[in-house]
Amino acid sequence: MQRLYDFLRRHPTGVDTFWAVILFGISVAGGMSVRGENGRGSDSPALIVPIVLLLCLVIALRRRMPEKMLLLTIGLGVAQVALNVATTPADFAMLVIVYTVAATGARWASRLALATGLGAAAVAQLRWPNEQSSALGNLAIVIFQTVPFALAWVLGDSIRTRRAYFAQLEERNARLEKEREAQAKVAVAAERARIARELHDVVAHNVSVMVVQADGAAYVLDTAPDQAKKALETISSTGRQALAEMRRLLGVLRTGEHKEVGEYVPQPDVEQIDELIEQCRTSGLPVDFKVEGTPRPLPSGVELTAYRIVQEALTNTRKHGGPNTGASVRLVYFDDGLGLLVEDDGKGAPHELYEEGGIDGQGHGLIGMRERVGMVGGTLDAGPRPGGGFRISALLPLKPAH
C-alpha cells in the first residue's frame, strides 16, 4: 500500500488525468440529458463536447501549469455564457482550479481566481435565471453557489500558508545547521592555532636550551671535557624531544597567524597540576587529587596536553556542575601511557556539548580537548556518569622521542 501511495505522489499529473477522464465520462453521459429536461442552454454536442474536453484538460494539467489552466478556465466560462452552453458536471473543474491556484499558483493568479470564483455564480444566474423563483430566491441561489468557490480559495490559501511556514522552518533549520558547522570549524581552527603557538613555544624553549648548552660546551671543551660531554648529552636529548614536538606540530595548520617576537617560556606541565587544583580549591571547588604509578619525565607535548585537559575539565565543572559540586582528578602513570580521569558529582553539561562536540557554538572546550588529545595520538571519552555528574577520561601515549 505504501508503494502505491509513493507511486501516486511521484506522478501527480497521472492521477489528475485519471480523474479528468472520469469527469469527462460523467459529463458526456449525463450532461445532455439534464439539459434536455430543464431546457437550460444549448444541447448541441458540437458545442458541449469541446468545452467539456477542455475543462477536463484543466483537471489533468492543473498542477503542472496552474496559471495557464486558470486563464483557460476563464476563457471557457466566457465561451459558455456567450454560446449559451449551460453548466455541466465538467464545470466542477472551476472549483478545482480555484483551489489549485490559491495553493500553488502565483499571487496575481490567486487573486484573479478569487475574484472570478466569487463572480461566476452571479454571472451564471443572470445568464440562466430560474424563472420559477423570485428575485430573492435567485439571490439566495447565487449566495449558495458562491460559497463553494470561496471555501475552495480559502482552503487553497491556507495550504499555501502552511507550506510556506514549513518551508521557512526547513530553511531556518538548514541555516542554523550551517551556522553551527561554521562555529565548530572556527572553534577547531582557533584551538589548533592555540595548540600550534604553545607547541611552537615548547620547541623554541628546547632550542634555546640547546643553544645555551652548546655555548657552554664550547667554552669548557678544553678545560673541562666531562662538563662538555654532559652538555652534549643534554643537547642530544633536548634536540630529540624538540624534534618529536615539531613532528606533532606538522599536523596543525597555522594560517594567518603571526606571533610577535618575544621571550619564549616553558608551558605548563604535569607538576603544575597541583597548583591548578589548589587554585580551584581556593575558588570554592573541592577537588580530590591522586597520582598513581611512578611519576617520571614526559614529552613536553604530553605534559601540556594533560595540564590543559585537567584545566578545561575543572572549568566545565565550575560552569555546569551547579552549587555544592565536588570533583576528583586521577593521574595514572602506565608503562606506555599517561591516564587522566576527571569526574564531578554535579548536574553535568548539556547533552549537545559532549554528544556533538559543541556544534552549537558553546562546547569549544571539549573541541579543544579532542584536538589536543588527537595531536599526541591519544583517546578521549567525555559524557555523563551513571550516578550523576560528568566524567572525562583520556589516555595519552608516551611515545619515545626519536
Q: Is residue 256 part of a domain?
A: no
Residue 88 located in a structural domain: yes
Residues 61 and 97 in one domain: yes
Asked whether residue 159 is domain-assigned, the answer is no
Half-sphere exposure at residue 52, Cβ-oriented, CA atoms within 13 angstroms: 25
Residue where one domain finishes, among candidates 128, 154, 187: 128
CATH number, domain of 210, equals: 1.20.5
Q: Tell me if 361 is assigned to some domain.
A: yes
* Same domain as 123, residue 38: yes
Do 215 and 281 lie in one domain? The reply is: no
In a domain, 254, yes or no: no
Question: Has residue 36 been placed in a domain?
Answer: yes
Number of domains in the chain: 3
Do 13 and 121 share a domain, yes or no?
Answer: yes
What pLDDT is recorded for position 67?
93
154 found inside a domain: no
Q: What parts of the chain have a pLDDT lower than 70?
A: 30-43, 195-206, 208-209, 241, 243-267, 348-365, 399-402
User: Structural domain of residue 205, as residue ranges?
Assistant: 175-249
* Residue 347, domain CATH: 3.30.565.10
The whole-number pLDDT of residue 357 equals: 43
- 210 and 297 part of one domain: no
Residues 244 and 313 both lie in one domain: no
Same domain as 121, residue 75? yes
Instruction: For residues 292 and 238, state if they share a domain.
Output: no
pLDDT (0 to 100) of residue 289: 94
Q: Do residue 236 and residue 290 come from a single domain?
A: no
Q: Which of 93, 128, 163 is the last residue of a domain?
A: 128
Q: Say if residue 222 is in the same domain as residue 275.
A: no
pLDDT at 126: 84
Is 350 part of any domain? yes
